[in-house]
Structure formats: C-alpha cells, structure tokens
Structure 1
C-alpha cells in the first residue's frame, strides 16, 4: 500500500484524507492501513459515514463507526438519508440511487472537514464485478476501465488488491467490522455477479480476477492513448455545439470524439447511435437524434454535436451598438473594426433564410452549398437586408452595390466581429 500510494502519488504530504467508512471489512481495513502509514507520508485522516436507512441494521453500523472513530480519535462526519424515498421520487433503482446519494454526501463531508482527497475502499473484486456488469450491459473498450486508482479528488488505494488479501489482513490485525446482510441478496445485480456469475467463470479460469485485471490494464492504456489524441484534436466548442473535422481520422477516433462531445452535454452515446453513424459515415450530409434535446449532424467533412436551442429568425438594426444574431456578433459603428464589414444605410434587417430565397438567378440554398457552409449553420446564418434586398450573406455573397460604397456620412459600418464560420475555416485549414 505504501509503495502503491507513493508510486501513483495518491496522497501528498500535508494533505487531509477522508475515508468513506461504511463499517464493513474493506473500509475498516483501509482506515487501519492509512493510520499505519499516515505519519510516514505526513497526511491526516478523517472519516465519513452515510446511513442509507435501507435495513434494520443500518443504525447498528452507524453506532459501530461512531465508536470506532471515537476509540481511534478520528473526526467523523455522519448523515442519514432515505434512499428508498429518493429513488422513488427520481425514478432510480436502489443501487443507482444509493451510489448517487453516497457520492454527493462524500463531497459535502469533504468540504465540511476541509479534506483534500476521498479514499474509497474499492478492491480488485469490486473492479472485476463492475467490468462484468458493464460487459453485460454493453460498453466500448474504454468503458471497461470502470475505476482508476485516482480520479480527480477520489483515490482507491485497495483497487488492485484482492478481497481475500484484505480479509487475511483484517484477521491478522484482529479488526472488528460489521457485516452487511444484503451482500448475500442476489436480487441486487452486483451480488448476483459476485455469487453466481464469477463462480461459474472461475470454473473456466480459476484466475478470473487476474484475467480481467489484465483486460482492465489494456483498456486503461487504450484510454490514455485516446486522451492524448483528444487533447491534440482541434475542436470548436460553445455552450450549444461542438464541431470537429473527421478528415484523416479513422472510425475509432471519430466515435471517441463524438462520445466525448456527447458526454460534455450530459448525455451518453448509445451503441445504436454508433451503428447508425457508421452506416452513414460516407454520406455527405445527414442528421441523427441522440436524445430529446441533442443532435448529431454531419456536413461535408465536419461533425457537429448540437444541443437544441432557440434560433433568432429576424432582427431589426436601427442604431449603433452590438448585435448577437445566433452567435454571429455584429457591431454597428462609425469605424471599420473587422476584416468583414459592409457600408449600410440604417435601418437594416437581419433574418435567417426562408424557403424560396433567391439571389439574382440562383437559389440561396445552392449558393450556401457552393460556399461549403455546413448544413447545421445554414438555418441560422444572417442575411443582411436593405430595403427588402439581400445585400450581404457573409462568406457567401456580396451585392455589387456594397462593393462600390465608400465611407461617408450617409453610411454606417456593419462590422462582423465574430462568427462560427471563421473558426470552421480555420479548422479546415488546419486539417488540410
């Protein structure tokens, strides 16, 4: 444990460590080990216990933890929560709801006790059970990483230690702990995997834990490779969309970028979405709904993950100032302040395209395609009207009358300060 913590830098000198203490053998052993080494590594130890109120013995566990921490002179933070009511109100399963409440509680405890990291007692058996659960539920290779020794402010010093080793340690140290009788109830998925699935797998491979540990490490290395790739990849991000070029990318890289973009909007990329995407990968343009309010769209060599949002359809510009039209930022002033600008007579109208819009003899739709404007921008691009005539469509069209105008008192200057298209052009240039 000491070497593991030092090698992976799980705990730094002078830090305060909060142990998630259920009272079971794993968490009690973790607390004991940390107390054995805390003086050498110069960190402080605290504890937190959440009473889930799921069983009659929950109060017994709470009292046991209180007595243990008092005897060890460990400061303890305790809360009670009704998991059943919470799950019923939020439509969650007991395991999922309890996990959500537990992690929220630990953050509160960490803040209340001014701790730096939270120590969780997950061990190799827990990791194996989670891998099997995810495999059964369906996941990609990076999804099999499941847990890491360190994730943000959470550390798992026991992660690569077998439960049998922990039990042996507890016996040698004569540690007292409480047993959770629900651990034998196979109606819970994790217990079913532990007591039914793993024993059957052990008949095929007696070293099933080591085999899945090897799989975990391989997936962890793959995840690290993916992280480095994503850090190098240029993307355009805003609060409503993420855009990237798929030129020169393989299918795995594309899917990983879509997955990360989807996660940033709080959603999960399902296998059915991946399957549909791969079916249409070589189509020039198409749209796929990822969730109720999230869309995936491909246009030319670009992929966009976009959150549903309200679009401005028209805007009257009557006086100098700043105007945000669907992310296209204009400024009306007396001076030229941008590379893209036009001399205009106020008032002017900005509006999005409508069916049947034409410029001279051409359909606006065709002009947008010729200019390689991505489909996800076309319905919110500004058309600049003066006296009911389209004078300017940025990056697409400039009327001859604008080209011949010069700065004088009769004209205001419409500066295009910022817009999503200029970043797309940079992205295309970088992608070659």
Structure 2
C-alpha cells in the first residue's frame, strides 16, 4: 500500500510543495495522515493538518482533541475550527451536507492561503467513489455525475481514492494506527449510509464480488467521455458561444444548426459549469431549454439558480446571484492618475485638457468633467425610473437600453455615474447634457475598462 501511495503522490508532482491534510480522525484520514508523514522527508513535503468541527455530534469535540494529540505526536502543525453547521445551513437555506461542505472547504482555503500551501488532500476512498456514483444514479444524473469523485481537481487531491475500505482497515490493523469512530456512519438515516450498509453487501455478495472495480472503471470511462465533450464544446468558443462577465452567451441561429444530441450535451455542460452541480439536469428540463431557443426575447427558464434566457439573438446562461452591488465614491489620489476596481470593471481617472476633450468628445467610452465635481461623483446600479437629460429633453434609461439592444441582465452590472443625484454618464452608451466642460475648467478624464 505504501508503494502505491507513493506512486499516487508522484503522479501529482508534489515534491517540494505544501499540502494541507484534511483529517477528521476516522480510519481513512488517519491512514492518509500516517502515509503522508511516512513520505514527508523523501518528497520534501510541507504538511499542515486541518480539522473542522461541525458541532453536529456529541463526540465532535472529542474528535478534535484526538486529531490535535496525534499531530503533536507526528510533529505537524495543526489548525482546527468549530462552527455551528446546523445554524448556518438553516440561515442560508442549505441542506446540512451542503452547509457543512461550504464551511469546511472555506476553512481549508483560509489555512491554505495563510500557510502558503499548494494542495488540499482529502481522504476519500474507492468505496466513497462507488457510493457517490450509485447515489447519483438513484437520484438521476448525467454522464458527468457518473464520474463520482475525481482523484485530482485543481488544488484538491485524493491520494487514497484507489484504495478500498478493506485495504485501509488492513493497513490500520497492521500498523496500529489509532482512530476515532463516527457512530453516525452506522445509522440508516442517510441515503449514503443505506447504500453502504444495505445495498453494497447485496451487490458484492450476490452479483459482482468486484463491484468497486466495476464502478471505478465506469467512473474513468465517464471522465474520458466528459473530457472529450468539454474539449469539443471549448473548440466552438467564438464560433458558437462566448464567455462574457460570468455569463455564457450562445448564438441562437448557429445553435439551431447543431444536432439535437449536441445541443443537449452542451446545455448539460454549461449548466454544470455555472451551477457546480455534478448531478446535472434531467431530460425533461433539457427539452424545455431546447424549446426555449425557438421562443421570443425575454423568455427564460430557471433551474437551481441557473438561468437560461433568450435575449435578442442570444441564449444567456448565468447564475442569477452573480450581479454586483455597485456603490463607490471617488477621490483624485494624485495629480495624474487614479485607478478603482470593481468585480467587472476598472475605472481610470486621469488629468486631461480642453484640447483633448475637443478631439475625443464623441467617444462614448470617455467622460470629461470639471475636477471640482469629483467629490460629488459616484457610481451605482441602475434603478427603476432612471433617466438622462439629453440635448432635446429627458429620456428614460430603460428606453435607451432598448434602443441600444442591451439585455436586461447586462444592464444590472453597467455602472451608472451620477453627480449630485443626476446621471451624467452610462459608459459606452450615452452621456448626459449636464455638467459639460469648457476651456476654463480644470478637466479630468474617466475611462471604464471591462474585465472580460
């Protein structure tokens, strides 16, 4: 087992890097901890251990103390954090499992950043992989859901994923590795536990003694298929679709020319990319999305916070929670140049002149104002009833956006510049007829650069 584990570590190219070990104190994570500690000098590893206390069980504090004690014996740096997962989950309308996972990985990311580490290692094993795949099949899943758990994904590695629970228990026994037992693993309250305790023994004893290997192969095949699909869809970027400010824009007329099968796969991939939900969406929803592309502008479908929406000649796909709350005031920090940043834009303020204004005043992407107004200048989001004062009178901002064919969703992130509660500029769209400059003014120039 040690040789196979070393082979896994070398496949990640870990030598000389820092690794955060997520350790609960159970058999799996204590095996992983012992194996990492065994090879830490050979691979020059900087190891830091993290334990997250979910406050969900009476013996949660016991587990935390146990892991801390073991880290002292190994001589490894130890971090722990205790959170009320149930309270957090209820307040944020999440399942307990979702809330626990979010808080746990948030903590891991914090420690990884503080300690300047490169990787996070978790102790998922081959049984966990099989249980995850079966659970997703029972709930209904797409090809990507059959992947289950990946051995490596970004900075997250799972170095004992190819070991079964039986192999881990054998290692524990042969090497006298201490561990704590989670009593809830034996309670049939959760689907995963029911699969582990009831379904798998039947599948293994009565149908296929090598069921774990069979599901592991299925996972690898699904991964290969998914990789090919994603690479092919990626090759169509710029031709069929584009990614713009955390939204996917698909050209509808070109999309209609694709086969129905390809369209279905693409909807699934884009949904899973935006939602980060490997369970995907069912075929009935896929059909509804495909019918949507033959609808008029403004029609939309919302699935698990992911919106598929028709906007003129494009299908927009985005997380409905991505939009930024813009609220900013400005100060000219030096004589020549100042830079401000938002999630989607850089805002640059520069000293200018009346001569430059005369040459560039037709540019919609520039705002020239008298420097004395800078203390009163701020940006905000669009609001109902907004209007611009133009040369021939007032015009509603909503009507201007319609004329310019700016989609409703993009409008939410366009910065609105105002002085003394009067809108003076909508970048790249229109400038107000108020607060114009003349040759006597001390003039500054403002540019907005999109972070695309």
TM-score (norm 2): 0.65
Is residue 3 of structure 1 aligned with residue 15 of structure 2? Answer: no
Q: Any residues of structure 2 matched to 1:33-432 within 5 Å, and which?
A: 33-202=35-204, 203-232=206-235, 233-234=237-238, 235-239=241-245, 241-245=247-251, 247=254, 248-262=257-271, 266=275, 270-271=281-282, 272-279=284-291, 287-291=299-303, 295-298=307-310, 302-305=314-317, 346-347=391-392
Aligned to 1:392: none
Q: Which runs of 5+ in 2 are unaligned?
A: 325-344, 346-356, 365-389, 412-446
> Which of 1 and 2 has greater Rg?
1
Q: Distance in 2 between matches of 1:227 and 1:257?
A: 8
Deviation at 1:123, TM superposition (A): 0.6
Cα pair 1:244 1:304 within 8 Å, conserved:
yes
Cα pair 1:273 1:290 within 8 Å, conserved:
no
Deviation at 1:3, TM superposition (A): 1.4
Cα pair 1:123 1:162 within 8 Å, conserved:
yes
Deviations 1:307-342 (A, max 9, x none): 5989xxxxxxxxxxxxxxxx9xxxxx76689999xx
Deviation at 1:162, TM superposition (A): 1.0
Distance 1:191 1:351, change over 3 A: same
Cα pair 1:280 1:286 within 8 Å, conserved:
no
| Residue-pair matches, total | 344
Q: Which runs of 5+ in 1 are unaligned?
A: 311-326, 328-332, 355-364, 381-416, 419-432
Cα pair 1:304 1:376 within 8 Å, conserved:
no
Deviations 1:172-194 (A, max 9, x none): 21111111111101102211111
Aligned to 1:12: 14
Q: Distance in 2 between matches of 1:104 and 1:186?
A: 29
Counterpart secondary structure, 1:290: strand
TM-score (norm 1): 0.68
